[in-house]
Amino acid sequence: MKLQFFKYQGTGNDFVIIDNRQDIFPKNNTKLVAQLCDRRFGVGADGLILLENDKMSDFKMVYYNADGGESTMCGNGGRCLVAFAHFLGVIGNETTFVAVDGLHEATIEGDLVNLKMVDVDEIREKPAYAFLDTGSPHHVQLVEELQKFDVHKEGAKLRYGLYGKAGSNINFVEQEGSDAFQVRTYERGVEDETYSCGTGVTAVAIAMHKLGKTNSNTVKITTPGGDLSISFEQNNGHYTNIHLKGPAIQVYKGEIEC
Protein backbone atom coordinates (compact mmCIF):
# COMPACT_ATOMS: atom_id res chain seq x y z
CA MET A 1 0.00 0.00 0.00
CA LYS A 2 1.26 3.45 -0.92
CA LEU A 3 0.47 5.92 1.81
CA GLN A 4 0.48 9.70 1.32
CA PHE A 5 1.79 11.61 4.31
CA PHE A 6 2.70 15.15 5.30
CA LYS A 7 5.52 16.19 7.62
CA TYR A 8 4.90 19.12 9.99
CA GLN A 9 6.94 20.66 12.78
CA GLY A 10 6.08 22.99 15.63
CA THR A 11 9.22 24.45 17.24
CA GLY A 12 11.12 21.33 16.21
CA ASN A 13 8.54 18.88 17.54
CA ASP A 14 7.89 16.95 14.31
CA PHE A 15 5.01 14.78 13.17
CA VAL A 16 3.89 12.52 10.35
CA ILE A 17 0.33 13.61 9.56
CA ILE A 18 -2.16 11.61 7.49
CA ASP A 19 -5.57 12.60 6.15
CA ASN A 20 -7.67 9.68 7.40
CA ARG A 21 -11.12 11.03 6.61
CA GLN A 22 -11.64 8.06 4.26
CA ASP A 23 -10.55 5.60 6.98
CA ILE A 24 -7.58 4.34 4.98
CA PHE A 25 -5.04 3.94 7.79
CA PRO A 26 -4.74 0.60 9.68
CA LYS A 27 -5.09 2.14 13.14
CA ASN A 28 -4.36 -1.06 15.08
CA ASN A 29 -1.01 -1.57 13.34
CA THR A 30 1.30 -0.17 16.01
CA LYS A 31 4.35 -1.59 14.21
CA LEU A 32 3.50 0.51 11.16
CA VAL A 33 3.18 3.65 13.28
CA ALA A 34 6.56 2.97 14.88
CA GLN A 35 8.12 2.26 11.48
CA LEU A 36 6.84 5.52 9.98
CA CYS A 37 8.20 7.46 12.97
CA ASP A 38 11.59 5.71 12.84
CA ARG A 39 14.33 8.14 11.79
CA ARG A 40 16.42 5.40 10.14
CA PHE A 41 13.86 3.16 8.48
CA GLY A 42 10.84 5.42 8.05
CA VAL A 43 9.89 9.07 7.65
CA GLY A 44 11.10 10.07 11.10
CA ALA A 45 9.00 11.92 13.68
CA ASP A 46 8.20 12.39 17.36
CA GLY A 47 4.69 11.10 16.68
CA LEU A 48 2.02 10.32 14.09
CA ILE A 49 -1.31 12.14 13.81
CA LEU A 50 -4.48 11.19 11.95
CA LEU A 51 -7.02 13.79 10.86
CA GLU A 52 -10.46 12.19 10.93
CA ASN A 53 -14.11 13.16 10.51
CA ASP A 54 -16.14 14.14 13.55
CA LYS A 55 -19.88 14.74 13.77
CA MET A 56 -19.73 17.34 16.55
CA SER A 57 -16.71 19.41 15.50
CA ASP A 58 -14.61 20.28 12.45
CA PHE A 59 -12.38 17.22 12.76
CA LYS A 60 -10.95 14.64 15.14
CA MET A 61 -7.30 14.32 16.19
CA VAL A 62 -5.87 10.84 16.80
CA TYR A 63 -2.31 10.90 18.15
CA TYR A 64 0.29 8.13 18.40
CA ASN A 65 3.65 8.27 20.13
CA ALA A 66 6.76 7.36 18.16
CA ASP A 67 6.75 3.92 19.79
CA GLY A 68 3.41 3.15 18.13
CA GLY A 69 1.15 3.48 21.15
CA GLU A 70 -1.91 5.75 21.06
CA SER A 71 -1.24 8.55 23.49
CA THR A 72 -2.62 11.45 25.48
CA MET A 73 -2.86 15.01 24.15
CA CYS A 74 0.01 16.59 22.25
CA GLY A 75 -0.07 20.41 22.19
CA ASN A 76 2.39 21.00 19.35
CA GLY A 77 0.78 18.14 17.44
CA GLY A 78 -2.61 19.77 17.86
CA ARG A 79 -1.26 23.04 16.53
CA CYS A 80 0.30 21.25 13.54
CA LEU A 81 -2.95 19.42 12.82
CA VAL A 82 -4.82 22.74 12.81
CA ALA A 83 -2.33 24.03 10.22
CA PHE A 84 -2.85 20.84 8.19
CA ALA A 85 -6.65 21.14 8.34
CA HIS A 86 -6.31 24.73 7.15
CA PHE A 87 -4.03 23.60 4.30
CA LEU A 88 -6.64 21.02 3.23
CA GLY A 89 -9.43 23.60 3.32
CA VAL A 90 -11.25 21.73 6.07
CA ILE A 91 -11.28 24.90 8.21
CA GLY A 92 -10.86 28.64 7.85
CA ASN A 93 -8.97 30.74 10.39
CA GLU A 94 -10.95 29.42 13.37
CA THR A 95 -11.79 25.87 14.39
CA THR A 96 -13.10 23.54 17.04
CA PHE A 97 -11.84 19.96 17.04
CA VAL A 98 -11.93 16.97 19.34
CA ALA A 99 -8.90 15.19 20.78
CA VAL A 100 -8.43 12.49 23.39
CA ASP A 101 -8.81 15.05 26.20
CA GLY A 102 -11.93 16.71 24.80
CA LEU A 103 -12.82 19.72 22.67
CA HIS A 104 -10.23 22.32 21.67
CA GLU A 105 -10.57 25.70 20.02
CA ALA A 106 -7.87 27.20 17.84
CA THR A 107 -7.12 30.09 15.50
CA ILE A 108 -4.51 30.32 12.76
CA GLU A 109 -2.82 33.39 11.31
CA GLY A 110 -0.04 32.71 8.83
CA ASP A 111 2.30 30.17 10.43
CA LEU A 112 1.11 30.96 13.96
CA VAL A 113 -1.46 28.69 15.61
CA ASN A 114 -3.09 29.60 18.92
CA LEU A 115 -4.52 26.51 20.60
CA LYS A 116 -6.79 26.49 23.64
CA MET A 117 -5.76 23.82 26.12
CA VAL A 118 -7.78 22.02 28.81
CA ASP A 119 -8.29 23.66 32.20
CA VAL A 120 -5.97 22.72 35.05
CA ASP A 121 -7.56 22.27 38.47
CA GLU A 122 -4.88 20.38 40.39
CA ILE A 123 -1.16 20.98 40.81
CA ARG A 124 0.77 18.75 43.18
CA GLU A 125 3.60 20.67 44.80
CA LYS A 126 6.59 18.76 46.16
CA PRO A 127 9.83 20.15 47.64
CA ALA A 128 11.83 19.54 44.45
CA TYR A 129 9.17 19.58 41.71
CA ALA A 130 5.55 20.06 40.70
CA PHE A 131 3.24 17.63 38.92
CA LEU A 132 0.19 18.48 36.82
CA ASP A 133 -1.84 17.28 33.85
CA THR A 134 -2.28 19.60 30.84
CA GLY A 135 -3.80 16.91 28.64
CA SER A 136 -0.71 14.80 29.33
CA PRO A 137 1.05 14.24 32.68
CA HIS A 138 4.05 16.47 33.41
CA HIS A 139 6.78 16.65 36.01
CA VAL A 140 8.24 20.19 36.27
CA GLN A 141 11.59 20.72 37.97
CA LEU A 142 13.83 23.78 38.26
CA VAL A 143 17.55 23.17 37.61
CA GLU A 144 20.70 25.23 37.21
CA GLU A 145 22.83 25.38 34.04
CA LEU A 146 20.10 23.80 31.91
CA GLN A 147 22.22 23.79 28.76
CA LYS A 148 24.75 21.47 30.43
CA PHE A 149 22.10 19.30 32.10
CA ASP A 150 21.88 15.60 31.10
CA VAL A 151 18.19 15.59 30.16
CA HIS A 152 18.19 12.05 28.74
CA LYS A 153 19.82 10.43 31.77
CA GLU A 154 17.94 12.35 34.46
CA GLY A 155 14.66 12.34 32.53
CA ALA A 156 14.72 8.57 32.05
CA LYS A 157 15.58 8.08 35.71
CA LEU A 158 12.53 10.06 36.85
CA ARG A 159 10.22 8.81 34.11
CA TYR A 160 10.72 5.17 35.16
CA GLY A 161 11.87 5.45 38.77
CA LEU A 162 9.30 7.94 40.05
CA TYR A 163 6.34 7.32 37.71
CA GLY A 164 6.69 3.64 36.77
CA LYS A 165 5.36 1.99 33.63
CA ALA A 166 2.62 4.56 32.97
CA GLY A 167 5.28 7.25 33.14
CA SER A 168 5.24 11.01 32.94
CA ASN A 169 6.87 13.57 30.71
CA ILE A 170 9.77 15.25 32.52
CA ASN A 171 10.46 18.99 32.12
CA PHE A 172 13.63 20.68 33.34
CA VAL A 173 13.40 24.45 33.70
CA GLU A 174 15.70 27.43 34.16
CA GLN A 175 14.35 30.93 34.76
CA GLU A 176 15.54 33.65 32.36
CA GLY A 177 13.44 36.62 33.47
CA SER A 178 10.31 37.65 35.34
CA ASP A 179 8.08 36.03 32.72
CA ALA A 180 10.58 33.96 30.70
CA PHE A 181 11.91 30.43 31.09
CA GLN A 182 14.05 27.93 29.23
CA VAL A 183 12.71 24.37 29.06
CA ARG A 184 14.08 21.00 27.98
CA THR A 185 11.75 17.99 27.97
CA TYR A 186 12.14 14.22 28.14
CA GLU A 187 9.03 12.72 26.52
CA ARG A 188 7.60 9.32 27.35
CA GLY A 189 6.73 7.34 24.21
CA VAL A 190 9.63 8.98 22.43
CA GLU A 191 11.87 7.98 25.36
CA ASP A 192 14.29 10.78 24.64
CA GLU A 193 14.58 14.54 24.73
CA THR A 194 12.51 16.31 22.09
CA TYR A 195 13.11 19.76 20.67
CA SER A 196 9.84 20.98 22.17
CA CYS A 197 6.69 19.76 23.93
CA GLY A 198 3.48 21.79 23.81
CA THR A 199 1.71 20.28 26.81
CA GLY A 200 5.08 20.43 28.59
CA VAL A 201 5.69 24.15 28.16
CA THR A 202 2.06 24.74 29.13
CA ALA A 203 2.65 22.78 32.32
CA VAL A 204 5.84 24.74 33.00
CA ALA A 205 4.12 28.12 32.60
CA ILE A 206 1.31 27.18 34.97
CA ALA A 207 3.62 25.54 37.50
CA MET A 208 5.95 28.55 37.56
CA HIS A 209 2.96 30.82 38.20
CA LYS A 210 1.61 28.54 40.91
CA LEU A 211 5.04 28.36 42.61
CA GLY A 212 5.37 32.16 42.58
CA LYS A 213 8.27 32.27 40.12
CA THR A 214 6.27 34.63 37.88
CA ASN A 215 3.31 36.94 38.40
CA SER A 216 2.57 37.27 34.69
CA ASN A 217 -0.45 35.65 33.02
CA THR A 218 1.55 35.43 29.79
CA VAL A 219 4.73 33.38 29.93
CA LYS A 220 7.43 33.11 27.28
CA ILE A 221 9.13 29.75 26.91
CA THR A 222 12.32 29.02 24.97
CA THR A 223 12.86 25.41 23.89
CA PRO A 224 15.69 23.92 21.81
CA GLY A 225 13.33 24.13 18.82
CA GLY A 226 12.10 27.70 19.27
CA ASP A 227 9.86 30.02 21.24
CA LEU A 228 6.31 29.52 22.48
CA SER A 229 3.89 31.73 24.40
CA ILE A 230 1.41 30.54 27.02
CA SER A 231 -1.38 32.69 28.42
CA PHE A 232 -3.98 31.83 31.05
CA GLU A 233 -6.41 33.06 33.67
CA GLN A 234 -6.21 32.02 37.33
CA ASN A 235 -8.86 32.06 40.02
CA ASN A 236 -8.40 30.39 43.42
CA GLY A 237 -5.81 28.00 42.06
CA HIS A 238 -7.87 27.02 39.03
CA TYR A 239 -6.27 27.76 35.65
CA THR A 240 -8.62 28.41 32.73
CA ASN A 241 -8.62 29.96 29.26
CA ILE A 242 -5.15 28.48 28.68
CA HIS A 243 -3.68 29.18 25.25
CA LEU A 244 -0.54 27.79 23.63
CA LYS A 245 0.74 29.91 20.74
CA GLY A 246 3.58 29.32 18.29
CA PRO A 247 4.55 28.36 14.74
CA ALA A 248 3.33 25.23 12.95
CA ILE A 249 4.95 24.63 9.57
CA GLN A 250 4.60 22.07 6.77
CA VAL A 251 8.05 20.65 6.00
CA TYR A 252 7.22 18.35 3.08
CA LYS A 253 4.79 15.77 1.73
CA GLY A 254 5.45 12.39 0.19
CA GLU A 255 4.44 8.77 -0.37
CA ILE A 256 5.80 5.71 1.37
CA GLU A 257 5.33 2.02 0.63
CA CYS A 258 3.83 0.24 3.61
Catalytic site positions: 74, 197
Determine if residue 65 is labeled as part of a ligand binding site: yes
Q: Quick check: helix, strand or coil at residue 163?
A: coil
Determine if residue 13 is labeled as part of a ligand binding site: yes
CB 79 within 8 A of CB 10: yes
Q: Please give the Cα distance from 108 to 93 (Å, whole number).
A: 5
The single-letter code of the amino acid at 228 is L
Determine if residue 188 is labeled as part of a ligand binding site: yes
Determine if residue 187 is labeled as part of a ligand binding site: yes
Q: Please give the Cα distance from 92 to 94 (Å, whole number).
A: 6
Per DSSP, the chain holds a count of helices (H) and strands (E) of 4, 17
CB 180 within 8 A of CB 218: no
Determine if residue 93 is labeled as part of a ligand binding site: no
Determine if residue 28 is labeled as part of a ligand binding site: no
Q: Please give the Cα distance from 155 to 169 (Å, whole number).
A: 8
Determine if residue 92 is labeled as part of a ligand binding site: no
Residues in CB range of 89: below 8 A, 6 or more apart:
none
Torsion of CA 10, 16, 20, 23, to 10 degrees: -150
**Residues making up the binding site for substrate:** 13, 65, 75-76, 169, 187-188, 198-199
**Residues making up the binding site:** 13, 65, 75-76, 169, 187-188, 198-199
